[in-house]
């Protein structure tokens, strides 16, 4: 039951991320990538902090806080925030030098990287999930890449971005069972915001005027895409193996395509519809129990 709840929460997470692409595109018209990332992360941290503090005090008053829980929270939040900031920056900068379709496909390589990295740290991945990963990669390619495929500088940055998101998923898997999910999200967003701001001040020219012009997209991505969706990810991963979690989150590309069709009137070709179907099928296949395994 907990696993089913986790999958449903991650599906909602993917839906929010997929439908947020329009807001991200609008925000990038007036803000540079690192400045935009700093703004959305600080907004998410500010929105979650009051709730995180209230939940923390409630747990402390009830005597349910584990020993060294504050240290675990700060270490976990710092590591998750660093991985998130790096992945976001590489993705945003990479998109400038490649097509959105290729960027989406290359970012989705975390579907493959999570079980591979997990193997080296002792995480066993069922055969059904490996098959699902292969199906999802094919589906994502059909959905995202319509041009001839070649690898340029922007593509390499998106591949590195997939590594960053892989590390983030595995770090969330490591720390989410140990601390409150809302608190972990708040700390990770604060860390990601600070790192993004430092990088923006170093290589960009942030201005309050540009931030004011992009306030709508910033509020949408900061409060909904970051504050709500990433927190749902942290909560859901408490009950979901990382390989399955990454697979469910790959539905982001499907929801992005469907929202573009429904909201913006963008047409979907037969190839893209086949890609959507394959990704959905892969997510369903991954939830089938292994033959001979006990229910758990």
pLDDT digits (tens, 9 = 90+) for 169-205: 999 999 989 999 999 999 999 999 999 999 999 999 8
The answer as to whether 117 is a domain residue is yes
Task: Tell me how crowded residue 147 is: count the other CB atoms within 10 A of its CB.
Answer: 8
Domain total in the chain: 1
Whether 197 contacts 85, CB under 8 Å: no
The answer as to whether 293 is a domain residue is no
The answer as to whether 28 is a domain residue is yes
The answer as to whether 280 is a domain residue is yes
The answer as to whether 296 is a domain residue is no
pLDDT single digits (tens) 84-136 = 999 999 987 887 777 666 777 778 888 889 988 888 888 888 888 888 889 98
The answer as to whether 54 is a domain residue is yes
The answer as to whether 145 is a domain residue is yes
Q: Residue 147: pLDDT above 90? A: no
Task: Identify the domain containing residue 195 by its residue range.
Answer: 2-286
DSSP letter, residue 295: P
Q: At what angle do helices 100-107 and 127-144 cross, to 10 degrees?
A: 170
Report the range of poorest mean pLDDT among 53-57, 135-139, 153-157. Answer: 153-157
pLDDT single digits (tens) 256-272 = 777 777 766 667 788 87
Which pLDDT score, from 0 to 100, does residue 72 have? Answer: 94
Structure pTM? Answer: 0.85
The answer as to whether 264 is a domain residue is yes
Distance CA 17, CA 36 (A): 16
Residue 256 backbone zone (phi > 0: left; psi -120 to 50: alpha; other: beta)? alpha
Q: Residue 290: pLDDT above 70? A: no
Please give the mean pLDDT across all residues of the chain.
85
Whether 142 contacts 274, CB under 8 Å: yes
């Amino acid at each position: 039951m907990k696993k089913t709840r986790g999958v449903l929460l991650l599906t909602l997470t993917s839906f929010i991320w997929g439908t947020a692409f329009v807001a991200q595109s609008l925000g990038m018209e007036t803000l540079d990538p690192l400045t935009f990332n700093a703004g959305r992360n600080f907004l998410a941290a500010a929105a979650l902090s009051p709730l995180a503090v209230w939940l923390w005090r409630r747990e402390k008053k009830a005597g349910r806080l584990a020993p060294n829980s504050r240290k675990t929270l700060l270490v976990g939040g710092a590591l998750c925030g660093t991985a998130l900031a790096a992945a976001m920056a590489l993705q945003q900068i990479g998109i400038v030098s490649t097509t959105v379709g290729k960027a989406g496909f290359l970012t989705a390589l975390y579907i493959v990287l999570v079980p591979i990295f997990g193997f080296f740290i002792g995480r066993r991945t069922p055969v059904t999930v490996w098959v699902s990963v292969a199906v999802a990669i094919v589906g994502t390619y059909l959905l995202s890449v319509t041009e001839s495929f070649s690898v340029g500088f922007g593509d390499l940055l998106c591949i590195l971005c997939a590594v960053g998101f892989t590390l983030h998923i595995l770090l969330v898997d490591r720390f989410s069972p140990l601390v409150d999910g809302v608190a972990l999200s708040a700390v990770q967003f604060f860390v990601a915001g600070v790192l993004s701001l430092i990088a923006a001040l170093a290589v960009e020219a942030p201005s309050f005027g540009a931030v004011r012009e992009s306030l709508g997209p910033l509020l949408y991505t900061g409060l909904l895409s970051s504050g709500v969706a990433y927190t749902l990810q942290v909560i859901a991963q408490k009950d979901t193996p990382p390989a399955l979690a990454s697979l469910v989150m790959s539905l982001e590309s499907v929801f992005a395509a469907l929202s573009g069709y429904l909201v913006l009137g963008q047409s979907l070709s037969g190839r893209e519809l086949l890609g959507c179907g394959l990704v959905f099928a892969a997510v369903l296949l991954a939830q089938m129990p292994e033959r001979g395994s006990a229910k758990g």
